A and B are shown apart, each in its own frame.
Chain A
């Protein structure tokens, strides 16, 4: 009977525990990260009697929470991947929208600028039309500046994302470490009866951490969990956590990187970080934003270099040769690595030698063993050249990359130093209008050809232009007189041309429409086409084209640049080059959207699988409630029965 009472008591306790666990489940139906718990019942140790083992009731073996570690890990991984792609997509679609705004983007302003030049070509002397050209050029430079500023905003946004992610990671990793500690304390380090609710909380924190960065976990025997990121950088080990910190990019202090403290110094681990919001932000910066700077800059740089070169071949209303149209973007200084030796003071300058070859990339100059310079294009990590002689290297760079590299100041450099060269990266920031008044627009060509009134033939010089100039112009007209005996034009005065008294072979019968070039001494190369039949002694003279308010020849050459494929080694014009940037970012945004959606599906599926196993189902709990209540009631009957048996016994004895 004592056994019966004991069995009943054990049963009551067991079902009380079962009922309270079911209630715990019901109460936490909406608690995030809560995993349903079950009371594991087992038989009490049986008692040995002469007739063999006799059962002695039920006992609570354990209260366990129900989960599948494989599914939990999958959820953690998918959380990181999904958050990475979501952040990448969020940041890239911002950039995508900003660049393609049909009303505020670069394209309409670029077109307006060239339209104003077209208008000027039909009325080259007009001050109001010239004013429009200057205003449109100003608008064009501001749109480049504004777009650059927006990229800077995006960069600042990435910086903010990095620092806030690092703050969150630090607070989460200390929380995980402290829960590890609580778990050790409550379970006494045995790991046998884990505190389920604390483990759920820790798993929730780990998933929150996974939203920020990809991680791996290992569970120790004592029940604590270690967390690692990157290439095995430990974030949480047992009860202690490692703090991350922001650090500056070696070449660019406006760029934040992820650092981890190693001893007294901080090590940059940005390139090891993947996944989560942090990984997404870094991916966006490396893959999209940094390239956008160079691609946008390349359009600005090529436009400015081309326009300036052509404008300098023209002649303005002040009767002087044209100057720079846009501010000169030819020279850029290389940035010195923050880790370079303290004594290093070398300054390297890149000078554009052929803007058409400029690529949308940064470059790194390394000074290595044996005092050898090596130069790497960073967009595809191609080594352009290496040499101990900087000018040899510079010639190699110039041939394929369109700029030269020279040491402009400094006396000291150390092995291992490096420098970052970005010929186009800041061009969109620096471009501006160089002209200050309407008369400075060099619409005309510096020289004009005329036939002598006495000519009896009809020879003309047409389509003439000065295609290179040294900055000076002829001081007196240069006359080309035709000799029909030798079929040549001979230039005079003799000293005006190089070689002296240049002759041009022109056979009127076959050569009409042929283009010629003559080097004018101290002036430059004059190019012209001869048409018609000159009589013997006919002369044409070439003179400075002063006060030519009606001449539009140089404007026509500038207009031609709009549709010429001068960007990226002859592959695109300005508009196309900008469209390429827009479509490239569009493609990457699209890809990130696909990838985000795919990861969303995987993430959702992982959440569902996790809930499928570990989530509370109220119907199930209601059924359990009934089941355990009935069991409890039945067990209570055992006590009653024991009591009745006891009473029966007592009654029998007292008689």
Chain B
């Protein structure tokens, strides 16, 4: 085969440039640590990366949502526990007051303590969350839920809404319960959680106390206990869902790493290979390039 001088030059230089471009590409991959430098390196992989990042983001967001929900439900749990404790004390006092021999003076004293507990109960029901929103007003987060109109008349100022928080794909959990369900719409009694206590104190003061007062107190305690165990169940669900979500995040991150992270050992082997290739091309060029018949003329 005939070969011309510039053809020889051109082809030698082309071979070196080719080696250099491969070298630069692998060098770039090593310095970024990424297997995919631009989507065309792996089009379906790049689209998959975008989609996986969305999956990871959404699941991390579920965790954020769950954290907020958990803190509000924990606040509800603590508040309802406090409410039950106070009610427990009211019930003890009621049992004492219903005991005939104790006399009116003692009953008045008991009634006074019961009224103390009552103001504590109203304050618990009006509790706010970390963002300054009333926990038990339903959707009316800026309205204090309990209105004390005096003379044992308590009304609910919130609404019956209950929001849901999304903590997983197609999984939402109810947020705090509303005051209507908790304190005002109590099964087995026509009284609400506050009027029952107010009426008990009034009955004791007037000496008209009866078993009905105690039954009302028990009905309210049952209702609140019921909601407290529901709160516990919701907190457990959150815990469970968090574990599931974390699993998805870990798995997606692994997949993501498989797709976009460079296998360094493999890459460095390739780098060495390319370097050797380039050196060989350079050396052979230098050795052959000097040969010319003109040297001997």
Contacts and interface: CB of A to CB of B under 8 A. Distances in A.
Do these two chains really belong together in a complex? yes
Interface of A: 29-30, 36, 92-93, 96-97, 99-100, 102, 105, 107-108, 111, 114-115, 118-119, 121-126, 444, 448-451, 453, 455, 545, 547-553, 556, 559, 562-563, 575-576, 578-580, 582-587, 589-590, 593, 604, 607-608, 611-619, 622-623, 625-626
B4 A118 contact: no
A586 B43 contact: yes
21 contacts: A36-B4, A111-B57, A121-B163, A124-B163, A545-B139, A545-B161, A547-B143, A548-B140, A563-B58, A575-B54, A582-B39, A582-B43, A582-B50, A584-B43, A587-B43, A608-B10, A612-B2, A615-B3, A615-B6, A619-B293, A622-B297
B292 A619 contact: yes
B218 to A, nearest CB: 19
Contacts of A563: 58, 169
Contacts of B54: 107, 111, 575
A468 B149 CA distance: 40
Contacts of B40: 92-93, 96, 586-587, 589-590, 593
Nearest to A122: B68
A613 B6 CA distance: 12
Interface stretch (B130-138, B193-201, B228-236): B130-138
B151 interface: no
Interface string B1-20: 11111110011001000000
Contact of B46 (A123, A126, A583, A613): A583
A122 B48 CA distance: 30
Contacts of B69: 122
In order of increasing CB-CB distance, the 6 nearest A-B pairs are A615-B4, A586-B43, A550-B141, A586-B39, A611-B7, A583-B47
B159 interface: yes
B41 to A, nearest CB: 8
Contacts of B140: 547-550
A7 to B, nearest CB: 29
Contact of A615 (B7, B43, B163, B294): B7
Nearest to B137: A550
Given A115-B57, A563-B169, A575-B54, A548 B39 contact: no
Nearest to A576: B51
B294 A622 contact: yes
A378 to B, nearest CB: 24
B164 A612 contact: no
Contacts of A118: 61, 64-65, 166
Nearest to B160: A450
Contacts of B42: 586
B163 A125 contact: no
A556 B6 contact: no
B86 interface: no
Contacts of B2: 612-613, 617
B165 A549 contact: no
B38 interface: yes
B4 A614 contact: yes
Nearest to A623: B293
A361 B218 CA distance: 69
Given A102-B53, A615-B4, A615-B7, 15 more contacts: A30-B6, A100-B39, A111-B54, A121-B65, A122-B69, A123-B131, A123-B133, A124-B163, A444-B139, A448-B139, A549-B139, A550-B139, A586-B39, A593-B40, A618-B292
Contacts of B148: none
B185 A451 contact: yes
B50 A107 contact: yes
B47 A579 contact: yes
A97 B38 contact: yes
A622 B293 contact: yes
A105 B50 CA distance: 10
A123 B38 CA distance: 39
B184 interface: yes
A122 B165 CA distance: 6
Nearest to A615: B4
Given A451-B185, A615-B6, A617-B2, A549 B161 contact: no
B186 to A, nearest CB: 11
B39 A107 contact: no
B142 interface: yes
Contacts of A583: 39, 43-44, 46-47
Contacts of B184: 453
The bracket for how many chain B residues form the interface is: 35 or more
Interface string B253-291: 000000000000000000000000000000000000000
A549 B133 contact: yes
B173 to A, nearest CB: 11
B172 interface: yes
Contacts of B46: 100, 579, 582-583, 586
A39 B223 CA distance: 116
Contacts of B65: 118-119, 121-122
A612 B4 contact: yes
Contacts of A559: 166
A608 B14 CA distance: 11
B160 A449 contact: yes
B39 A96 contact: yes
Contacts of B47: 579-580, 582-583, 586
Given A100-B46, A119-B64, A619-B292, A450 B159 contact: yes
B68 A111 contact: no
Contact of B293 (A105, A553, A618): A618
A579 B7 contact: no
B39 A550 contact: no
A121 B166 contact: yes
Contacts of A611: 4, 6-7, 10
Given A579-B51, A622-B292, A448 B43 contact: no
A548 B10 contact: no
Given A96-B38, A115-B61, A551 B51 contact: no
A214 to B, nearest CB: 24
Interface in B209-265: none
Nearest to A126: B131
Contacts of B185: 451, 453, 455
Given A118-B61, A556-B164, A575-B50, A604 B14 contact: yes
Most A CB atoms within 10 A — which of B50, B137, B159? B50
Nearest to A607: B10
B147 to A, nearest CB: 14
A125 B142 contact: yes
B68 A123 contact: yes
Given A444-B139, A616-B5, A100 B38 contact: yes
Contact of B39 (A115, A451, A575, A585): A585
B28 to A, nearest CB: 13
B68 A548 contact: no
A119 B68 CA distance: 9
